[in-house]
Each structure stands twice: as structure tokens, then as C-alpha cells.
Structure 1
Amino acid sequence: MSGELLAATVAAVRHAGARMMTRYSIESRQPGLPDLLAHLRANDAAVVDVLRPALTAALPNASWLDDEHGSGPLDMGQWWLIDPVGGNVNAAHGMPDWNIGVSLVRDGRPVLAVVYFPVLDEMFTATEGGGALLNGAPLRVSVKTALDGALAGTGQARPGQGPEFAERTAASFIAMSKSALQVRVSVPVTHQLAQVAAGRMDVHWQFDNVRAHAAGVLLVQEAGGMVTALDGTPWKLTSESYLASAPGVHAAALDVLTTRPGNA
């Protein structure tokens, strides 16, 4: 992966973050769901308007997807996968935990990732085989070896999953809470994956593998973490679920998520 392409992607994402910061306010509130949804769409559009021309210019032959809730296989070749505003609902409510997320997927595997948190000015980057960085400094996952000292988390990958999905997530939260030091349920997913890559969290799991998570997955992998499907097989873009964690707690976390009641 060329340094020029990574630099161009970082520049585009930083520009998009600056655009979003002109829309973001800690006073931001909407009176009801229709107004909220309109605000979310406007946020996404503002970011895409910056990213699409810049990334197309950087890699003209790559295809484009900015459906942050999309899943399933992609055709062979290169794809820009964009999560315009990860945690958009947080930004719309004046909270700081949101990001701009971009990954480049080549023949079904992520090869480049840029995840930027504008409020904190934290730029996470990774390239396949090139390691993961935070503001230019190398990242490593945590050295935890037991779940009793681990900070774990999950979250809602996409809305509208229904009561069965909610019950499964709740059961997994209860199961993990019995083993881990602390468990959080929050969005955006890429925020938690970035924290695992930085060693700030130790475990993140999802029962719903969304393609836009590829950026966070690559961050964890390149920071020395383990990412597998919940059946223990290697993570793929088409996996139905996944566990991303520090290597020292991966087996224990996998056991919790696959053998406890309600999580089979």
C-alpha cells in the first residue's frame, strides 16, 4: 500500500472531519424523530460530498459504497467502504464520540483504514502488513491475560434488528458481565474497535458483521489483536459475527460468547 494513497486518504478524512465540525455543536438537539433523521442524513451528505471526489481522485478505479449498514459479499476488485459519520446519533445529540471512517477493501479483505475522531483530533490509521498508528505513533493491543481485569463491549451495529437480536445481545451482555471487569454497550462500533487497537479496551464482539466495520477490524489486526468469527474461524468480510480482542483474552471471551446460556 503506497504512502501517497494513505496520505491522500488521511487528508480527505481530515477535511471531512473539519466539515462535520462546522455542523457539530454540544447544544445540538432535535425535537422529534423526523427532525433527527433529517439531521443525520444531512451530516452524512456533508461528509460524502467531501470524501467522494477526493477518494475517487486518489484511486479512480475503485468502486464506492457509503451504506454504513450494508453487509454481505462484494465483487472482486477495490472498494472504498465509507461510514460517513460513525456514531452519527451521538453527534446529533451533542456528544463527542463520533468519527469519520474509511476503509479500502481489495478482493474481499481490508488493506487500508482511516478512522478519525474530530472532537479529540485522534487519527487512527492502518495498512495491511504495515501496522496501526494513532496520530503517527504505533498502536498495540493490551497485554491482558484474564477476563477478570478486562474492559469489554458490544453495541448496535444497525437499527431495526428486532426483539430476538436484542434478547441475544442482552444475554451476551449478562454472560460477559459475569466474567469481565466491565462491559459497555455503546455506538459507534468503530469507536470500540479503535479502543481495542489502542489497548484502551480489551474485547469487542458483534452478532452482526457490517462491512463498514472493516476499518476497525484492520486497526485491531494490525495492532496485534485477534479477530475471528464467533465459531473461531478467521474473520472475513462476509462473517456473520465476530470477536476482536487482545490475544491473551480471546479464547476466554470466545468461550463466554459461545457456551453460556442464551448465546449458543
Structure 2
Amino acid sequence: MMDVLAGTEQALREVGDHLRDRQPAEPVDAATPQQARAAFDAIDRPAAALLRERLTALRPGAGWLDGEWEQDVPRDGEWWLCDATDGAVQYLSALPQWAVTATLLRDGAPVLAVVHAPLAGSTHTATAGGGARLNGRPCAPRPRTLACSVAATSQPPLVGRDPRALHAAGASLSAVLPHVLAVRNLGPTALQTAQVASGHLALFWQFGADPANLLPGALLAAEAGAVVTDAEGRPWTPDAPSFVAAAPGVHAELLDVLRRV
């Protein structure tokens, strides 16, 4: 698995360099969703094809899932779940908060994850049972209390957006804000959850089922020693309607707040 991890990291760095060199210096002029999608596809499709070529060579027998749009996680066999340009909105807006992500699933569970953010100079990696690393060094959440935490969250996924999840997202933000130093949305879900793994954020939460974006960060956070559950404290699964990853000292406090939503 270490050879596959090293090859995956190399592939993501190659794709990240490709995208970094092509990111516009100014926000893309796109007045409609259709124009924005066309501009993004022109950049993302070649990058996604390159990523698929590199990772298929690493694991020829693994299937391929369509990144951020994937909602159904196969329960059998090996599958690559990848997003060549995770954080499309930021990328097109000439902002630095985007990443390249790859997760290898085996029988429905992540066994390897890499989240590479070229402009941040960060590469988070994890293997099941092998711990988590940031830029090659072991990483872990930092001891925190909720009152001394920088928290992060995200909106429910756009595809199949559930009105109940939208309501919970707004209500939970109002509930959490009085108890923390700050709440931020720092771009891709996978990258923010990875930053919980490395201690840069104390916690991340989200409402709405979002397996494609949450699976890489779920492995990274858990392998680093963070607590990963749903908002009720149950073990997180890809079809769960909510997600929480937090440093051990913060997790119970956060759940107490979220249970009031």
C-alpha cells in the first residue's frame, strides 16, 4: 500500500502543478451557471483525464467514480474516488483554496486518501491503520476546548440538496457561533477536514449526505486521532445525513451544541 500511496501523491502533485499553472489570475467572467460550467470543464476535464490515467496505471483493477457528483458508494471491490479540481468555485474565482483529492475505496470503506493543495503547499495523506501525515510528517489534532476553537463548516452539497439540511446548516451556524472563537468556510470539504487532522482547525461539521467529499477527510481525520461521527454521535457512514470531525477534547462539547439544533 505504501507504493500505491507514494504513486498517488506523485500523481496528485503532477495534476496540481498542471492546474496551478493554468489558474487565471483574475476571476473568470461567467454571468450564468452554464458559462461557469463551460469555463470549468475546459480546465477540469484534461486534469481529470490525466489523474485517471496516472491512478489507473497504479491500480489497474480498480473502478472509477465521478468525483464530487458521486452519491452512491459501491460496497464491493476497489474504486478510485477522485476530484481533480476540488473547490471549483474558488479556482474560477482566482482564490487559492482548492485541492486535488484521491481516495481508494475497498468494499465501501476508504483505505487510502490524499488531499493535495498546491497553492497552500500542503499534502495530507493517510492509509487505513497507518496514521495520517502532513507533508510527510505525522500529524494529529491539537488539544482544545470549544471556547478556544477555530471551527469550520460547509453548506449541504448542491446535488440533491435537501431543504432540511439547508435549515440545519443555518441553525447550527447560529448555535455554534457563540461558543467558539470563529467559524470559517475555507474551501473544499476534504481540505477542511484534513486540516482538522493536522490541528489547523479544531473541528468541522456539515449537514447533508455528501460521501464523495467527506470520505477522504473522514479517513484522514480518524487516522490522525480526531473523532469522526454524525451530529448525533453515531459512527459516520457515507449515507449519514450529517458529519462531525473534531479534536477529542472538543467533540463532546460540539455535539452538545448541535443536538439542540
TM range, normalised to the smaller chain?
over 0.9
Q: Is the 8 A contact 1:227 1:245 kept in 2?
A: yes
How far does the alpha carbon of each residue in 1:129-168 deviate from its partner, in whole angstroms, 9 at most, with x for none? 1111111111111111x21111112112422626543332
Partner of 1:229: 230
TM-score in terms of structure 2 length: 0.93
Distance 1:143 1:42 in 2: 43
Q: For residues 191 and 139 of structure 1, what CA distance do their matches in structure 2 show? A: 14
Percent identity over the alignment? 38
1:148 maps to a residue whose letter is A
Q: Which moved more, 1:159-168 or 1:32-41?
A: 159-168
AA aligned opposite 2:211 = R
Q: Distance in 2 between matches of 1:3 and 1:185?
A: 32
**Aligned runs of 1:52-63 on 2, under 5 Å?**
52-63=52-63
CA-based RMSD: 1.6
Counterpart code for 1:230: A
Q: Do residues 37 (structure 1) and 25 (structure 2) align? A: no
Deviations 1:46-94 (A, max 9, x none): 2211111111111111111123132234131111011221111101010
> Which residue of the partner structure matches residue 189 of structure 2?
189
Name the counterpart of 2:89: 89
TM-score by length of 1: 0.92
CA distance in 1, matches of 2:6, 2:245: 26
* Worse-matched range after superposition: 125-134 or 26-35: 26-35
Contact 1:66–1:84 (CA<8 Å) still a contact in 2? no
* In 1: Cα distance, 2:198 partner to 2:238 partner: 22
Corresponding letter in the other structure for 2:87: G
| Residue matched to 1:240 | 241
Letter in 1 for 2:114: V
Paired with 1:82 and 1:158, the residues of 2 have a C-alpha distance of 16
Length, aligned pairs only: 258
CA distance in 1, matches of 2:104, 2:215: 9
Q: CA offsets per residue over residues 174-205 of structure 1, 9 Å max, x none?
A: 00002112112343111211211110111111
Where does structure 1 differ by over 6 angstroms across 4 or more consecutive aligned residues?
none
Partner of 1:66: 66
C-alpha contact (below 8 Å) 1:114/1:124 kept by paired residues: yes
Q: Secondary structure at the match of 1:76?
A: coil
Letter in 2 for 1:240: P
Cα 1:221–1:100 change in 2 (3 A) is same
Mark the runs of 5 or more structure 1 residues left unpaired by the alignment.
none
